[in-house]
A and B are shown apart, each in its own frame.
Chain A
Amino acid sequence: MRKFEQHQGIVAPLDRANVDTDMIIPKQFLKSIKRTGFGPNLFDELRYLDEGQPDQDCSQRPKNPDFVLNQARYEGASVLLARENFGCGSSREHAPWALDDFGIRVVIAPSFAEIFFNNCFKNGLLPIVLDETVVDQLFREVAASEGYQLAIDLEKRVVVTPAGDRFEFSVDDFRRHCLLNGLDDIGLTLQHADDIKTYEQRRAAVTPWLFPAAH
């Protein structure tokens, strides 16, 4: 997994609550058996005026000029600013894959849906929860100045604005550790293979019907 230590980038404001994963990457693109290539279809229904198809060349499609990621001032954005309950709905990991493929590294919102939140960490993407009033302030600042950027430091757990305001955020130690070091958590879990086997033996004695192959 790619490491995440620090990041600075242009902020794109997506001013709506309850952005669901169907919206982030519509279902027709879930037919892919790969992890990459979803970027051109990120927010497909909001971004384009026509209905997108898998394996289509998106460069010729009519774009929705009102959509934030189509506006010149947000070109190259790598920090997405959003409202509450971001990433709700379907568990599709294609949502963080699409954000990542597009170039988003950080999503900031007052709250996230859990499965999406969790999926981000597995893909080197950092979801940051900030207080609603702070998020409001950031929305105002982004609107006020073109080329607005935020700096994020995961080691120090802080978001820094161009004016020097510092907003601390919290993140689980385990997730932070994995992200800072780009660790694959399957490898970490397999270091505890003995614990897993001990558990299985203990459990098979109590609930043998859950371990049919052991009998």
Chain B
Amino acid sequence: MSGKTLYDKLWDAHLVRQQDDGSSLIYIDRQLLHEVTSPQAFEGLRLAGRKPWRLDANLATPDHNVPTTRTEREIGVEGIEDPISKIQVQTLDDNCDEFGITEFKMKDIRQGIVHVVGPEQGATLPGMTLVCGDSHTSTHGAFGALAHGIGTSEVEHVLATQCLVTKKMKNMLVRVDGQLAPGVTGKDVVLAVIGEIGTAGGTGYAVEFGGEAIRSLSMEGRMTICNMAIEAGARAGMVAVDQITIDYVKGRPFAPQGEQWEQAVAYWKTLHSDDDAEFERVVVVDGAAIKPQVTWGTSPEMVLPVDASVPDPAQEADPVRRQGIERALQYMGLSANQPITSIQLDRVFIGSCTNSRIEDLREAAAVVKGRKVAASLKQALVVPGSGLVKQQAEAEGLDKVFIEAGLEWREPGCSMCLAMNADKLGSGEHCASTSNRNFEGRQGFGGRTHLVSPGMAAAAAIAGHFVDVRELMAS
């Protein structure tokens, strides 16, 4: 018999019950909650007269709707100008208070994007099953955890039962060999992988990212990669536990301590795929060949290296794909064969659960330091992922670097990643964004999103158009 994959191990450890009809009951160790996908779940509990199964497994924070300007933020929930957003954030506060769930409220320094907050607090641990009503929950798989997004009905189900009814996924390994070139980051790796396997390439799979390039990445780089597993269609992405994982977790507020720490570490060290484990699909990528990536279209798979040119639909044989390219070019206001570097930008957004951690901010700050944002730009925003990331960045003086270069330094939240708050694109505007989705209208009605790494976004802010970040690093 062949060995087990990391996913097999996590699955087996959480199997409560195998049902006759082929579905399984899986135990959930941690649920993260935010204001957008939880109100109807709490309402469902109330209507059915149910209580949460376990309070200590839940952790909440508002992120999607919160304003990022200091004036609005200082007042707290009352300061949210949009009345509908205010109700939603207030509803999360009320629900958490009513049911007794720990919440980092708007004025708490620990507030931030759920997928930044969980790992930062050690609320995300290796070997856990972790869910959240948000598809980018795949982020937490970077810790050797089984983590994926769920819908609101399932949020209610987990609140009420601490379990999920689900089916086992298939195993896929994405192996990134070799060492990444300087200036090439986790974001470029994951965009290149999505370009290779497509936005549905991972559907039905739990994807483990392995190989030398992944092993060499920091936890933050690994989180960026797992974060976007969902953009390849995979609900869950994961990376095996190693010393880098363990060092990152150590000492965080929710992490085990003392004797339990030793016990946990011993267990965590078993969380990797066995040498003889079998994967239904293996994709091998040459990490050393990856260049900085830029998306040109309206799906994350529409991605190319920065030195390439926008595709020509006339060259595409498949009619559905050709139509897709034509539609994307039209929406994006681009012409066939136009070099990526000729795309002029209106705004730059550095933030989101993909790239708003301290290393991302350092990477961007290093590029803009001593330079000025292009005069043609309407706005360049830097939105840290949490209050603690913001505090750390300020302690390092990064806020000053950004402000001096002409970027805006904001309060933590999802912000322009999905533009539910006031930060959004105008119709027809091009944005270099470190977020994860370039769908039509995602960052604002008619807005045109190009996904890039923090360094690439910073370089684009300086140049006013796309440019290979490595050119700015060299000079």
Interface residues of chain A, those whose CB is within 8 Å of chain B, are 16-18, 20, 22-23, 26-28, 30-35, 45, 51, 54-55, 83-85, 88-93, 96, 111, 113-115, 118-119, 122-123, 172-174, 177, 184-186, 188-190, 192-193, 195-196, 199-200, 203, 206-210, 212-213
Contact = CB atoms under 8 A, between A and B. Distances in A.
A172 B23 contact: yes
B154 A85 contact: no
Given A89-B135, A173-B22, A209-B256, A195 B17 contact: yes
A122 B153 contact: yes
B157 A85 contact: no
Contact of B204 (A51, A114, A122, A199): A114
Contacts of A206: 267
A172 B21 contact: yes
Contacts of B134: 90-91
Contact of B56 (A16, A89, A200, A213): A213
Contacts of B85: 31
A185 B446 CA distance: 39
A185 B44 CA distance: 13
Nearest to A19: B439
Given A91-B149, A209-B264, A115 B324 contact: no
Contacts of B160: 186, 189-190
Given A17-B320, A173-B22, A210-B125, 9 more contacts: A22-B439, A23-B441, A31-B87, A54-B84, A92-B37, A122-B153, A122-B154, A208-B260, A212-B56
User: B84, B263, B437: which has the most chain A beta carbons within 10 Å?
Assistant: B84
A196 B442 contact: no
A84 B161 CA distance: 34
A22 B441 contact: yes
B200 A88 contact: yes
Contacts of B267: 206-207
A192 B40 contact: no
Contacts of A212: 56
Nearest to B41: A93
Contacts of B323: 16
Nearest to A188: B165
B157 A22 contact: no
Interface in B4-36: 13, 16-17, 19, 21-23, 25, 27, 29, 36
Interface in B393-423: 418-420
B355 interface: no
A123 B156 CA distance: 13
Contact of A209 (B152, B260, B441): B260
Contacts of B153: 93, 119, 122-123
A31 B420 contact: yes
Contacts of A54: 84
A31 B27 contact: no
Contact of B135 (A91, A96, A188, A200): A91
18 contacts: A18-B324, A27-B442, A34-B40, A90-B134, A92-B151, A93-B37, A93-B133, A115-B135, A118-B151, A122-B153, A174-B21, A184-B48, A189-B25, A189-B161, A190-B161, A192-B25, A193-B161, A195-B16
User: B87, B128, B199: which has the most chain A beta carbons within 10 Å?
Assistant: B199
B25 A195 contact: yes
Contacts of A193: 161
B138 to A, nearest CB: 10
Contacts of B162: 196, 200
Interface string B140-180: 00000000011111101100111101010000000000000
Interface in B25-73: 25, 27, 29, 36-37, 39-40, 43, 48, 50, 53-56, 64-65
B453 interface: no
A186 B157 contact: yes
Contacts of A210: 29, 125, 128
Contact of A115 (B21, B22, B56, B150): B150
Contact of A118 (B21, B53, B154, B199): B154
User: A18, A172, A173: which has the most chain B beta carbons within 10 Å?
Assistant: A18
A19 to B, nearest CB: 10
Contacts of B392: none
B129 to A, nearest CB: 10
Contacts of A93: 37, 40, 133, 151-153
Contacts of B43: 33, 35
B233 A88 contact: yes
Contacts of A89: 135, 437, 439
Interface string B211-243: 000000000000000000000010100000000
A102 to B, nearest CB: 18
Contacts of A200: 27, 162
B307 to A, nearest CB: 26
A45 B441 contact: yes
B439 A186 contact: no
B56 A186 contact: no
The 6 closest A-B CB pairs, nearest first, are A209-B256, A122-B153, A33-B39, A119-B151, A173-B21, A93-B151
B17 A114 contact: no
Nearest to B418: A27
Contact of B203 (A17, A113, A203, A209): A113
B91 interface: yes
B445 A51 contact: yes
Contacts of A17: 320-321, 324
Contacts of B56: 212-213
A192 B419 contact: no
B118 interface: no
B241 to A, nearest CB: 14
A176 B204 CA distance: 19
B324 A16 contact: yes
